[in-house]
Structure 1
């Protein structure tokens, strides 16, 4: 039996504003992670490989390895949160959750598709994300490709 999220009747499709707000919040977290990774990469290149300061970043392998590390870190960030509870920290702030169409947590395959299509959606001036405005069910290209949906959660009841 697959696990499902609670309160499925109380959620509604997320609009563009909330999605952009969550992306904005998450971009700061991801930037901090990228700064840490870049710092470690420079330290490894400088100290372990013994390169002079002017040689850091000059080789094609240095550039490619750093870019690969940054992409892997971004995927790991989103995969960890999406698979764990359906929400990144930015999505928690905006009360958003990504889930399957039947209300369950998304699979690793869906996570990979969401990440790849979501990144590609920025290429045509963000059209894949703006698609939420034109789709009747407020789905982005990443939602459509991965068979997922982003929903708004109700406010927590005050006690």
Structure 2
């Protein structure tokens, strides 16, 4: 019986939006899963895969966590539509919120949204990374390391 429940819950997991540049522009130190407060038309729009978190960021203000500048496309068939780029409140525990606030107070740390998805229960979740911005030479070093890894795999495959 337990196996059936587990198998039936996995099809609900679905990635809505991903911030691919985040791992290139930032060194991610830690990540936290957060809930997000949405209206009905926003959830319907997300089910149709119309969202963008690439230019967005998270901020701790007045003891609350906010997602700023994220885009959720308007839902055509909604009676009461939503604002596309409004600030959305995020749900985290007090302990996690205090950890995020202390991390952002340190030099160069910021909160970057990494991926928005529906979890196995069908709820919208957002993975937030506590990150430090990379300088240009750090980005070049990361790229060189990645290229060397690819080249090494090619050499091992071909046996040269």
> TM-score, normalization: structure 1?
0.24
The structure whose residues are more often helix, as a share, is: 1
The structure whose residues are more often strand, as a share, is: 2
